Amino acid sequence: MHAVLVMILQRLGLGVVTLFVVSVGIFGATELLPGDLASTLLGQSATPETLAALRTQLGLDQPAPLRYWAWATGVVQGDFGVSLATRRPIADMLAMRLGNTVFLALYAAALAVPLALILGILTALWRNSLFDRVANAGALSAISFPEFFVAYILIFILAQSGVFPSMVRLSPNMGLGDKLYVTFLPALTLTLVVTAHMMRMTRAAIINLMASPYIEMARLKGLSPLRIVLRHALPNALAPIIKVVALNLAYLITGVVVVEVVFVYPGLGQLMVDSVAKRDIAVVQAIALIFASAYVLLNLSADVLSTLTNPRMMRRK
């Protein structure tokens, strides 16, 4: 067990390093600009005086490592600085929306993960059957559809007739049931897109295993197909399946941006798109950092979890 603990600590250490590199990347991206941020923001209207003033205000007169240090220490304490467009503290703008986005992502995940795993296992079990072919063609199509297409089709079918609202209006004192109802369409959109990916990858992972000699051995021991899948394939498929789930939950992060815009959902994604349009770099950096951290953490936990399911890792020779 000691070796495993060391390895988990190593992974965590690596995760911290990755987060550091990612934050440097996100912060440092502005350094790629020809000229600097102030001249880009002011564009044609720049006069030497306004430029100088803006530079001082943005702290551009300081060297980059110092600015990064100030930014990073602020972020760690929950201070993301102020928006360039509205002059409001970014942390205040994010607080409410972060909760909303996490709610939507969890909602979609709760629907998608069990659905995808069940479908993936069934299609693998009944490989090449009609069910498998239909499920596969359906999944392939769902993957090919842009998120906004899926969203508008759902609106066209379910919202136009008034069954579900096409715009999400959240109020702070809403009950959970109401909230689930109001956010059903965006959650369903995300679910459809993510389920397709997850199902295909789960199926592939299991089919890959079913070709291995120890599965043939299990069949030659006269075991039932169900027992073979549950006892012989699944324990070995856990690691790849965990990876698949993590990868797709990470994919939700991307999907959430478009879906929030379609349904006018008050989350981080929508704020990000607005801020990109306004070129409010401070806000975009803050949100990008949050999304990227979630992404890194997801991959990290998948790594650790799949290690824990592998007896080779758990018990060395």
Partner 1 sequence: MTGEVLLQIQDLHVEGRAGEEWLPILRGIDLTLHRGEVLGVIGESGAGKSTLGLAAMGFARDGCRISGGDIRFDGIDLRKTPELGRRALRGRRIAYVAQSAAASFNPAHKLIDQYCEVPLLTGMARSTAEAEAVTLYRKMQLPNPEEIGFRYPHQVSGGQLQRAMTAMAMACHPDLIIFDEPTTALDVTTQIEVLAAIRDIVRDYDTAAIYITHDLAVVAQMADRIKILLRGQEVEEAETRAMLAAPKAEYTKSLWAVRSFARPEQPTPTGQPLVSVQAIRAGYGKVDILQDVSFDIHAGRTVAVVGESGSGKSTVARVITGLLPPRDGQVLLDGVALPQDYRARPRALLRQCQMIYQMADTALNPKLSLRDLIGRPAQMYLGLQGRALEARVRELLALIELEPDSYIDRLPQELSGGQKQRIGIARALAAEPRLIICDEVTSALDQIVQEGILRLLDKLQRELGLAYLFITHDLATVRAIADDVVVMQHGKVVEQGPKPEVFAPPHAPYTDLLLSSVPEMTPDWLTGLLARRHGKA
Partner 2 sequence: MAVVIFLACAVLVSIPVSWGARRVMVAILPRNMARVARDMPLTAAFGVLVIAVYVFVALFAPLLAPFPERAVVGSQFQPWDSTHWLGTDRLGRDMLSRLIYGARNTVGIAFATTALAFLVGSVLGIWAALRGGWLDQVLSRFVDALMAIPALIFSLLLLTIFGTSVLTLILVIAAVDATRVYRIARSVAQGVVVMDYIEAARLRGEGTVYLIGREILPNALAPLVAEFGLRFCFVFLTISSLSFLGLGIQPPTADWGSMVRDNATLITFGNVTPLLPAGAIALLTVAVNFVVDWQLYRASGLKEQAG
Sign of CA dihedral 44, 49, 52, 57: negative
Q: How many CB atoms lie within 10 A of CB 21?
A: 12
> Shortest Cβ distance from residue 292 to partner 2 (Å)?
5
CB 170 within 8 A of CB 100: yes
Tell me how far, at minimum, the Cβ of 2 lies from partner 1, in Å: 17
Please name the residue that has the structure tokens 């394939």. 233
Q: What is the contact mask toward partner 1 in residues 67 to 106, using x (rule: CB under 8 A)?
A: ----------------------------------------
Residues forming contacts to partner 2 in the complex (CB under 8 A) are: 18, 21-22, 25-26, 29-30, 32-33, 40, 137, 140-141, 143-149, 152-153, 155-157, 159-160, 166, 250, 253-254, 257-258, 261-262, 272-273, 275-277, 279-281, 284-285, 287-288, 291-292, 295-296, 299
Cβ closest to partner 1, residue 18 vs residue 309: 309
Residues 35-47 as b/e (b if ≥16 CB within 10 A, e otherwise) read eebbeebeeeebe
Residues 46, 51, 57, 58, Cα dihedral to 10°: 80
Contacts of 67 (CB under 8 A, 6+ apart): 27, 59, 60
Integer Cα distance of 242 and 305 in angstroms: 7
- Residue 2 is a binding residue for partner 1 (CB under 8 A): no
CB 138 within 8 Å of CB 199: no
Binders of partner 1 in range 184-213 (CB under 8 A):
211-213
CB of 227 vs partner 1, minimal distance in Å: 9
Is 216 one of the binding residues for partner 1 (CB under 8 A)?
Answer: yes
Distance CA 143, CA 149 (A): 11
Partner touching 254 among partner 1, partner 2, none, CB below 5 to 8 Å by kind: partner 2
- Specify the stretch interacting with partner 1 by CB under 8 A; choose among 16-24, 96-104, 165-173, 307-315: 307-315
Given a contact cutoff of 8 angstroms between Cβ atoms, the answer to whether 178 and 243 are in contact is: no
Q: Can you tell me the distance from the alpha carbon of 223 to that of 185, in angstroms, rounded to the nearest whole number? A: 43
Q: Which is nearer to partner 2, 103 or 295 (CB)?
A: 295
Q: Which is nearer to partner 1, 170 or 215 (CB)?
A: 215
Q: Could you say which of partner 2, partner 1, none residue 67 binds, taking C-beta under 5 to 8 angstroms by partner kind?
A: none
Quick one: which segment of 55-63, 195-203, 218-226, 277-285 binds partner 1 (CB under 8 A)? 218-226
Name the site residues for partner 1 (rule: CB under 8 A): 211-214, 216-224, 231-232, 235-236, 311-312, 315, 317
